[in-house]
Structure 1
Amino acid sequence: MTDAAADATVHLVARLVPQAGKADELAHTIMALVPQVRSEPGCIAYLAHESLDEPGVIVMIEAWANQAALDTHAAAPGFAALAARFEDLLATPPSLERLRRIVESFPQ
Structure 2
Amino acid sequence: MTNLTIVANIYAKSDKIDLVRAELEKLIPITRAEEGCLQYDLHQDNDNPAHFMFFESWGNRELWQTHMSAPHLAAYLAATDGAVENFTLHEMSQIGK
Q: TM above 0.5, one fold? A: yes
Give SS of 2:74's match. helix
Greater RCO (Cα-Cα under 8 Å, separation 6 or more) = 2
Greater Cα radius of gyration, structure 1 or 2: 1
Match of 2:95 among 88, 92, 102: 102
Q: Distance between the aligned counterparts of 2:79 and 2:22, measured in 1?
A: 13
The number of equivalent residue pairs is 97
TM-score by length of 1: 0.83
Structure number with the higher helix fraction is 1
Give SS of 1:103's match. coil
Determine the structure 2 residue equivalent to 1:89.
83
Determine the structure 2 residue equivalent to 1:10.
4
TM-score by length of 2: 0.91
RMSD between aligned alpha carbons?
Answer: 1.3
Q: Distance between the aligned counterparts of 2:36 and 2:50, measured in 1?
A: 28
Fraction of identical pairs, as percent:
27
| Contact 2:9–2:89, Cα closer than 8 Å, also in 1 | yes
Output aligned runs, 1:25-36, within 5 Å. Answer: 25-36=19-30
Runs of 4+ in 1 over 2 A off after TM superposition: 83-87
Return 5+ residue gaps in structure 1 as ranges: none
Return 5+ residue gaps in structure 2 as ranges: none
Determine the structure 1 residue equivalent to 2:17.
23
Q: Distance between the aligned counterparts of 1:33 and 1:19, measured in 2?
A: 19
